[in-house]
Structure 1
Amino acid sequence: MREYRLWSKFIFIAGVLISGVLILQMGLYALHVIMHWNADYNLIELCHSMLQSFGFSFAGYILQAVVYQTFFLLVFIVVKQAVQTRKFAGKLQACRDEAWTRRLNESYSTARGSITVIDSPEAVAMAAGVFKPHIVLSTGLLQLLSNCELRAVLHHEWHHAKSSDPAKTFLLTLFASALWYIPILKWFLRNYKIVREVLADDYAMRRMGTPAELGSALFKLLKGGVPARLPMSHVSILDTSINYRIRQIVEPDAKLRLSWPLAPAIISIQVAAALCTMFVIVLY
């Protein structure tokens, strides 16, 4: 699993770094436009030497539109997430099954996150919460799985909770949505989810000592259908790549093959170069 952990770190760091640099540059540009504050844009010095003599008047308008739209989306998505998380917390309290919640928290006192059981016929198992991840299960899930299968699912979700996967996934989702014109960020998000699910599966199988219970649980959950996705940030055992993960359980020696995103990378480089060019034209 070392390869998967390396992929996970690479994808997350690369996604955050690319997004952070672009957002920082846009922030400096916004300060330049609004407050007439001059700054050295080191990332575009190379472009500057070639394009300093150009003077395209439309570049400033395009750049302002991109920058303002990006910051609007960043704020909108964060506020929307906060509102939806607050609503979800209220719904959890309203349909919380106190008896099952108390029983599971007493039975699994070593859990790294608190367990909440909700009264719902759907099979729900997820790690939710950006700042304080906790595990949410449903009574439908408890009725569907055996005790051993339930333990395997709990180990899977504990791994997500202790690794802060809901927060990391939300951060990559935020960047991929706000910087929608950088397509490689969507590739990072999609493959990060796959790798994290595989790592959580591996953790559950190692804790159980066998893949049988997790595989059986996945088959039962898949047969019951994938529940509707919730709007707030969470990571569910049925989130993504179920078929691949079942194959990984059946054939543990099979390796995850992530194809390099050549087309998204080329488009992203072109877009970044265009933004760099416009920064140079406007600021110099």
Structure 2
Amino acid sequence: MTGHDLIGHVGATLLDSVWQAALVGLETSVALVGLRKARPQTRYTTACVGLLLCLLWPVVQLVARLYGGTASASGTPVLVQMLAGAGGAGSDGWQAFLQAHLAWVVVGWAACAGALGLRMALGLVWVGHQARTHRTDAHWNERLTTMAAQFRITREVRLRVVDVLASPVTAGWWRPVVLVPASLVAGMPPQLLEALLAHELAHVRRHDYLVNLAQSVIETILFYHPVVWWLSHRIRVERELIADDIAARQLGEPRRLALALSELERLQFSTYHLAQAANGGDLMSRIKRLVRPDTQTSNWKAALPVLAMAVAVLAGCAGTTPGSSALEHDAVTTKPIAKFNSCAKPEYPQASLARRAEGTVTLRFLIDTDGSVAEAAVAKSSGDALLDEAARVAIAKCRFTPGTAGGKPVRSWVPVQYVWSMS
């Protein structure tokens, strides 16, 4: 596979991820509405599954494009095929534009993802530097160790006092560290600081740092999609509610944690989101929830119809590829035959001509009972997206002798190869 092929496949996958993530977001939002009275853990899990699907669906499709060798592995984005099916006045122009600029899509995505990845790496370095170089507080370090044992945390949890933070944050998984602002150690009443540390230990107990790190990776890869940022925000909000519940149960005093959070409202929010901070989410709503908790029922069963619908929709979309056999007839006795005298020869695109691009494209056409082309798609790319599209558009205008089954015309698929050669 050439570098040009790889860029084409990645670009097509990026374009298709736009509608894929939008569909996942729609289904997840409906599920979350149905679960609005459920426990935070249920909503948290639902949002995590949605965010993971936003990444896995494009990854699976990219692997299929690279190694499938079928119509589902086509280098042509499904988005472009949708435009073709819409048949609007400007559809051909949009198809050609998207196909011609796939390389720029990939370059732009790689540049932005690289910048965000560098930012994430610098954040990790900063947190590691604070954990190694800043002082500890013997009293609070001992108190944190005692509290960690009460939380049944077997790993050592370290405490570091940092000047530049506004609230405690937790980082690390194997050797977790809680970074505490010096202003809180010096000025906050001990019982309130202890409540904030209990919140941070709840994050350590749940291994939230790893999930948050995975979120940051997905945000870096799919930075261009608002659904990804919305789901990630919902995950962080629900995660803070879960940590509040665990800390309140451990302390036995929800109001003490609420009072501690109210003190944080006056402080500047931390910008280091790779760590778990006690000031995440909406502080006022969290405070009200701790002081006046709503009666919640674990009505996860209310989401079952929504989840079933989501599975059905996703399965349907996964199956609506040009290679689907839903419209093919196993009993076809004669295959469709192209009447090449009914259509013009595909014209060499000027850009491909300038590059002296050549290759063989394999197309698939769904031929209706009257011999017209109902659907057309690229099954195997020639290596040049413009050549693929030019062949698809031109041959789709041909008339065919329809396939037959039992002597009657039937709709059926037929493969067609076209060789592009400069000679």
Structure (1 or 2) with the greater strand fraction: 2
- The letter for the 1-side match of 2:120 is Q
Deviations 1:88-126 (A, max 9, x none): 312332222253564334443516351322142754311
2:104 pairs with 1:65? yes
Please name the residue that 1:38 is paired with.
Answer: 69
Structure (1 or 2) with the greater helix fraction: 1
Q: Secondary structure at the match of 2:196?
A: helix
Q: For the structure 1 residues 28 and 64, does the alpha-carbon distance in structure 2 shift closer, same or farther, using more than 3 Å as the test?
A: farther
Distance 2:144 2:43 in 1: 33
Q: For the structure 1 residues 60 and 131, does the alpha-carbon distance in structure 2 shift closer, same or farther, using more than 3 Å as the test?
A: farther
Deviations 1:146-176 (A, max 9, x none): 3332332122111212222233233233323
2:41 pairs with 1:5? yes
Q: How does 1:225-236 map to 2 (within 5 A)?
A: 225-230=267-272, 233-236=274-277
The more displaced of 193-202 and 85-94 is 85-94
Q: How does 1:214-253 map to 2 (within 5 A)?
A: 214-223=257-266, 225-230=267-272, 233-253=274-294
RMSD, matched Cα: 3.9
Please name the residue that 1:20 is paired with.
Answer: 56
Q: For the structure 1 residues 173 and 136, does the alpha-carbon distance in structure 2 shift closer, same or farther, using more than 3 Å as the test?
A: same
Q: For the structure 1 residues 254 and 68, does the alpha-carbon distance in structure 2 shift closer, same or farther, using more than 3 Å as the test?
A: farther
2:172 pairs with 1:136? no
Conserved? CA contact 1:167–1:233, under 8 Å: no
Q: Secondary structure at the match of 1:58?
A: helix
Structure label with greater radius of gyration? 2
Please name the residue that 1:99 is paired with.
Answer: 138
The more displaced of 185-194 and 169-178 is 169-178
- The letter for the 2-side match of 1:63 is L
Pairs aligned (count): 258
- The alignment's TM-score, normalised by the length of structure 2, stands at 0.51
Deviations 1:40-81 (A, max 9, x none): 537989997996999844333333433454455445434442
Flag as ranges the 4+ runs of structure 1 deviating above 6 A: 42-50, 52-55
Q: For the structure 1 residues 28 and 96, does the alpha-carbon distance in structure 2 shift closer, same or farther, using more than 3 Å as the test?
A: farther
Please name the residue that 1:260 is paired with.
Answer: none
Q: Secondary structure at the match of 1:253?
A: coil
Q: For the structure 1 residues 281 and 70, does the alpha-carbon distance in structure 2 shift closer, same or farther, using more than 3 Å as the test?
A: farther
Q: For the structure 1 residues 149 and 39, does the alpha-carbon distance in structure 2 shift closer, same or farther, using more than 3 Å as the test?
A: farther
Gaps of 5+ in 1: 256-268
Conserved? CA contact 1:211–1:249, under 8 Å: yes
Distance 1:185 1:96 in 2: 37
Conserved? CA contact 1:126–1:135, under 8 Å: yes
Please name the residue that 1:212 is paired with.
Answer: 255
Q: Secondary structure at the match of 1:41?
A: helix
Distance 2:289 2:295 in 1: 6
- The alignment's TM-score, normalised by the length of structure 1, stands at 0.73
Q: Secondary structure at the match of 2:39?
A: helix
